[in-house]
Amino acid sequence: MPHIFAALVNLNHPGHYVHWGFIQMSVANLLVIGLMLLVFVLALVLPFPHGRAAARERAARPEASAVDERPEAGTAP
Amino acid sequence: MTSTPPTTTRTEAVLATERPTWTGRFRSRAERSFPPEKLLPDRQPAYVSSWIYVFGALTLGAFGVVLLSGAVLAVEGPAWWHVSRVGLYVNSLHLWSTELFFFFMVIHLWGKFFMAAWRGRRRATWITGVLAFLMSIATAFTGYLSQQNFSSEWISTSAKDGINATGAGAFWNVLDFGQMLLWHVLLLPLVVGAVIAFHVLLVRRRGVVPPFAAASTVVSEPYETALLPSAAPAGPAHDDFGPEVPHNEEAP
């Protein structure tokens, strides 16, 4: 039963490191940086839910879009 | 003798008495800077419909979990978080929420950097974000020093030489567990929390920076056309980085 909850990767050993000259970085940190880059790219290219639909709706109702698109409304950070 | 009738209304009299006080001036300025519709808005600019605008809020969410789990750890103490199952769980929750906090914050930083988010009189927003990032690193560092295990011992003995080389070691001793714990659980969280709160207030005041594409190119998506230069207000609201949004005309 305990093996079901075990980590997918065996972490019970000293960390692995990569070296470029004087630069040394753990493989774990390198993986996290790679994951951050991947998420960053995905955030740029993946469509936002309802974003296109809302755009089509605003295009169909130009009088409403004049209000909805005002950028002076504060936004979530 | 006859008394002179009052020439001012009661409201005017109240205003006249409030203006000279710092509380009255503070309240007036706060009301001007943060009207309710700007402080708690119910509308979003159309360009916010993108995943890249989500990471600031995700960072705030992770920060909330960091604070809550850290508060529980502070109540129970190291004899609990190293031994009991629940303590180990909360300890891990604190660690991984911190990891996610930095994960989201760095992506937020990348997004804002490539958008040149200091445009449109948002310099203070950018600078407070940088300060929050740097202070968060210091807070996380003191957290690693406060674990009370071999890891914290290794980190502190490795770091002391670097800190001492800067001269800060004279009053900031990374080998002093009590000092590092107090910095971690009180002083630095207060600073980080205050800087983040100010950062969010500035975002509310100035609004979210529009993307370059919406401000500088002709696009087919109708929701972006409101941000074209022709839609921007006339006047000196343009700088080298593109047009400003109309609500940035106020002085800070």
Q: How far apart are CA A26 and CA B123, in angstroms?
A: 35
Domain ranges, ordered by start, for chain A: 2-68
List, for residues B7-48, the tens digit of each pLDDT value. 556 666 555 555 678 898 888 888 888 888 888 888 878 888
Size of interface A-B (CB pairs under 8 A): 114
Would you say residue B140 has pLDDT above 60?
yes
Chain B residue numbers touching A32 (CB-CB < 8 A)? 99, 103
- Asked if residue B175 lies in contact with residue B146, where contact means CB atoms within 8 angstroms, the answer is no
Question: SS3 for chain B, per residue?
Answer: CCCCCCCCCHHHHHHHHHCCCHHHHHHHHHHHHCCHHHHCCCCCCHHHCCHHHCHHHHHHHHHHHHHHHHHHHHHHCHHHHCCCHHHHHHHHHHHHHHHHHHHHHHHHHHHHHHCCCCCCCCHHHHHHHHHHHHHHHHHHHHHHHCCCCHHHHHHHHHHHHHHHHHCHHHCCCCCCHHHHHHHHHHHHHHHHHHHHHHHHHHHHHHCCCCCHHHHHCCCCCHHHHHHCHHHCCCCCCEECCEECCHHHCCCC
- The pair of structure tokens assigned to A35 is 């994951």
pLDDT of residue A14: 86
- Which residues, in sequence order, are CB contacts of A68 under 8 Å at separation 6+? A58, B43, B46
Contact B242, B212 (CB under 8 A): yes
B35 and chain A in contact, CB less than 8 A: no
CA distances from A9 to A12, A13, B112, B139, B169 (A): 9, 11, 34, 29, 39
A36 vs B106, B223, B225: nearest CB: B106
pLDDT in tens, chain A (77 residues): 556 667 777 777 888 999 999 999 999 899 999 999 999 999 999 998 876 666 677 677 655 544 444 444 444 44
Q: Residue type for A77, please?
A: P
pLDDT tens-digit readout, B216-237: 544 433 333 333 333 334 434 4
> What's the average model confidence in pLDDT over B85-111?
96
Q: What is this structure's pTM?
A: 0.75
Does A20 contact chain B (CB < 8 Å)?
no
Q: Please tell me if residue B113 touches chain A, with a CB cutoff of 8 Å.
A: no
The alpha carbon of residue B5 is apart from the nearest alpha carbon of chain A, in Å, by: 46
Percent of chain B with pLDDT strictly greater than 70: 77
A32, A46, A75 ranked by CB distance to B48: nearest: A75
